[in-house]
Amino acid sequence: MTTITKPSFLTDVEFKASNAAAMGKEWNWIDPRHADLPHPANYYESSLDSWHSFEALQADTECDVVVIGGGLLGASAAMHLAEQGVDTILVEKNRIGSAASGRNGGQLTPGLARWEAAEMAERLSYADAKKLWHFSSTEAMQLIDDIAEKYQLDFRRQRGHITAAVHEGHLVGLTQGADARKYLAEDHTQVIGKHELMQYIQSDSYQGGLIDSLGGQIHPLALNRGLIYGFCQHGGVVYEQTEVLRIEETADGIYVHTAQGRIKAKKSVVLGVHHASASLLAEKKSTTLPFYTYVCTTAPLSIDIHTLLPQGHPVYDTQFQIDYYRPVCDNRLLFGGQGTGSCWPTQKTHDYLKGRIHTVFPQLEDVSIDFVWSGTTDLTVNGAVDSRKSANQFPIYAVHGWSGHGVAQTVRIGKAIAADFLGDCSDFDMLRQIDHQSILFGRNLAPLVIPIAKSAYGLGALFNPGKMVSF
């Protein structure tokens, strides 16, 4: 069994080089006054103690299940398989949590990507909608807490979340969403007006909002590392710096080929690499568009952050190009937004996010940014995740299309994959029943398609500002 330590937090941050390699167009930036580094660590990595580095695969080997990708989906599936005694190997081409799972906004919100309770109630039978909603809300949130308790892990988990309405008409949509959640037997929401919202957000930008006691926030990289910690406690094997080149299905198993060697999966493979999975899937149906998102973390603020967010809740707003933000350690504000088909450069991103902070909180006259980073995610046409399982003798599982939402749900789906493999329940079959539209040349046309779609939706918002559409 590999001996690793639990993820642990620093008092604040350590400006240092990232343990992960720069991949694709994703980048990290820190204020050069702190350090001059070609690829610095982002805020999440900087706020954690240095952690275990796993060796690369160096020889041929075999196991029952190979999990490809060390993000939240892969780590959760691997941990839940190992807990049940399944001989499992996880491979990651970079470092654990180096992609979207360790770079996201850290907000815990219920729903299946952009499918919320109203969409489920509209598209499914009552029984199916209720089951899917609780799977992606109450069960997903509880699972995070159960894992933390079982392995005695600190994820900086906090409860409570706000969706803030930028237009009075958006309160109608928020009220309808809360009503749909009650209809599906989940009642953790309260819609409040502009003046009451000031008790939670000291900003004149909003007309009211929805307070959600089920959602919250978390440190996503600590969660990701914690899942790997749990995996290793049950004999799981991890190889980092091990990129999968191809998957070969044969009569006696699935061979996972890497540059350094191959792994024979005697029973199954799980693809937990999200937007990059398409090139490895036998079924080439393209159902997702990749897009880029951006996050920053301020320097410690000159005023107490609780004068901005008195209750400490994370916030999403309802504008088409959303802002989201939350308080983090040492009186800092984490702030994110945008979604683009082509990756923005560092200075443009820095200036945009700093401008948005000033717009929401004009009382922050002298705010400095310590960290800025980009991330890559993918979206589907209907807004739900695309969950797949091949029908072959040795099944291959894959999940795509998170649309920038789904930290807790990703962990829950990892557990569902393990349960499906073991024949314990039908949760993953429920996800597979959601039909998805193919996107012809979608991945290649994203830099063109996404700006056109944003312009069209933005124009619609000008004529009907009360209609709530977020990107």
- Pairing mode, if any, of strands 237-239 and 253-258? unpaired
Q: What is the mean pLDDT of the chain?
A: 92
User: 76-112: buried (b, 16+ CB within 10 Å) or exposed (e) per residue?
Assistant: bbbbbbbbeebbbbbbbbbbbbbbbbbbbbbbbbbbb
Measured CA to CA, the distance from residue 79 to residue 85 in angstroms comes to 10
What is the spatial distance between Cα 246 and Cα 255, in angstroms, rounded to a whole number? 8
The residue ranking higher by pLDDT, 298 or 381, is 298
Q: How far is C-alpha 454 from the geometric centre of its chain's CA atoms?
A: 22
Q: Side chain identity at 32, as an amino acid letter?
A: P
178 pLDDT above the threshold of 90: yes
- pLDDT, position 465: 59
The Cα–Cα gap between 43 and 351 comes to 18
How much is the pLDDT for 458? Answer: 61
Instruction: Kindly calculate the radius of gyration of the chain based on its CA atoms and give it in whole angstroms.
Output: 21
**Across-strand partners of 92?**
none
Residue 441 has pLDDT above 60, yes or no: no
pLDDT at 278: 62
Nearest to 74 by CA among 284, 269, 337: 269
Burial category of 155 from C-beta neighbours within 10 Å (exposed 0-12, middle 13-18, buried 19 and up)? buried
Q: Is the CB of residue 229 less than 8 Å from the CB of residue 49?
A: no
Evaluate whether 247 touches 262 at the Cβ level (below 8 Å).
Answer: no
What pLDDT shows up at residue 285? 76
Give the pLDDT band of residue 277 (cuts 50, 70, 90): low
CA-based angle 349:354:358, to the nearest 5? 150
Q: Nearest-CA neighbor of 132 among 318, 470, 438, 385?
A: 385
DSSP 471: -
**Residue 391: what are its φ and ψ, rounded to 5°?**
-95, 10
Query: What pLDDT was estimated at residue 270?
Result: 97
Q: Determine which of 19-33, 287-301, 429-443 has the lowest per-residue pLDDT on average.
A: 429-443
The residue that leads in pLDDT, 412 or 25, is 412
Helices (H), 84-159: 117-123, 126-136, 138-151
Tokens 């350690």 found at: 329
Whole-number Å distance between alpha carbons of 412 and 290: 23
Number of alpha helices (DSSP H) and beta strands (DSSP E) in the chain: 12, 18
Mean predicted confidence (pLDDT) in 436-460: 62
Lowest mean pLDDT among 277-291, 333-347, 443-457: 443-457
Provide the token pair at 120.
Answer: 């489920």
Max Cα-Cα span within the chain = 66
Give 339's Cβ-side CA count (13 Å radius).
Answer: 26
Tokens of 200: 């939670």
AA identity, residue 350: H
Residues 6+ apart with CB under 8 A from 271: 68, 69, 277, 280, 281, 396, 397, 398, 399
pLDDT tens for 309-368 read 999 999 999 998 899 999 999 999 999 998 888 899 999 999 999 999 999 999 998 899
Residue ranges and CATH numbers for the domains of the chain are: 40-104+221-286+382-440 (3.50.50.60)
161 phi, psi to nearest 5 deg: -150, 150
pLDDT at 471: 44
Whether residue 216 contacts residue 157, with contact meaning beta carbons closer than 8 Å, is answered with yes
DSSP state of 137: T
